[in-house]
Amino acid sequence: MAENILPEKGLSSYRKVRNALLGSLTAVAFILAVTPLLAIVYIAYDRGKAALSLSFITTLPGGFPIGIEGGIANGIVGSLILILLASLLSVPVGIWAGLYLWDQSHTRMAKITRLLSDLLLGVPSVIWGVVGFFVFSTNTGFGFHWGFSGLAAGLTLGFIMIPIVTRVTEQALRDVPRSYIEGALALGASRFQVVRGLAIPAAITGIGTGILLGVLNVLGQTAPLIFTNYYNTGIPTSLVGSNGSVGDLAMQIFIYIHEPSKALHVKAMAAALVLTVIVLLLDMGIRLLAWGSRKYAQRMG
């Protein structure tokens, strides 16, 4: 390996100065990009370590005010349920829409769909919450009348996720070289065979990233939950109806931080740390899945 790609010797002093300047800018940009993560982890750990223990993630909150005793198992389970419900809706729909936009990219219908999908990306999450409330939760008027429930929240979050998955899927497919697709078509492959056997496997890492971005977005949402689920200190046996609310880590942190209790503030920070670890695990899990399915596709037709 070359030690230094850019030889320092023989450079004019102008270029030396420019190298040093751009090098420092790069360093500053890097520090600015990672500092928030370090700050989050450091502050959450420093303020929350007193509450950390195995039972913190395995037990339900108890005591008064609720949460003074016990852990955040309700939040962990609830968050996972919400991710699952949101993904069940958004992953198939988003990938399908992304495929459509890629395949039909020049048609008027696709252009309209793309525009609408991008508009949805900019809708504030509190609006999603209000609309989710009217469509899924409210007990009067039109809608599903599911009450404040995991299903209402999961689907609302799923709809938030669809345009994210759609956009990233389309972009990942666009990044598959045209020559690669043409190679298969020239062998007599049908469009479906090309999509299934080549385009999706080649784009799978990007599609995985899209799903991850969507899931992480969902994990961090609180506003939509306020209108469609609120919060549960236990683990529900149903996902609809008046007892169908689920816990949620982001909501739990939000609620604990607002309580005038030192002990709950400590728990909120510990929960933030747990949330960060869950994000990390999801990231690695989705990368592993993408890697596995690419390996699988390389073996198969």
Binding region for another protein (CB under 8 A): 106, 177, 179-180, 182-190, 193, 197-198, 201-202, 294, 298-301
* C-alpha separations of 224 from 123, 148, 268 in Å: 12, 11, 20
Residue whose CB is less far from another protein, 106 or 262: 106
Find all residues with CB under 8 Å of 211, minimum gap 6, and list them: 87, 91, 94, 165, 286
Tally the C-alpha atoms within 13 A of residue 165's C-alpha that lie toward its C-beta.
Answer: 28
Residue whose CB is less far from another protein, 37 or 185: 185
To the nearest whole angstrom, how small is the minimum distance from the Cβ of residue 208 to another protein? 16
* C-alpha separations of 131 from 153, 246, 248 in Å: 11, 19, 20
C-beta separation of 274 from 252 below 8 A: no
Find all residues with CB under 8 Å of 260, minimum gap 6, and list them: none
To the nearest whole angstrom, how small is the minimum distance from the Cβ of residue 186 to another protein? 4
Residue whose CB is less far from another protein, 179 or 237: 179
C-beta separation of 41 from 276 below 8 A: yes
Residue whose CB is less far from another protein, 276 or 293: 293
To the nearest whole angstrom, how small is the minimum distance from the Cβ of residue 197 to another protein? 7
To the nearest whole angstrom, how small is the minimum distance from the Cβ of residue 114 to another protein? 16
Residue whose CB is less far from another protein, 47 or 294: 294
To the nearest whole angstrom, how small is the minimum distance from the Cβ of residue 193 to another protein? 5
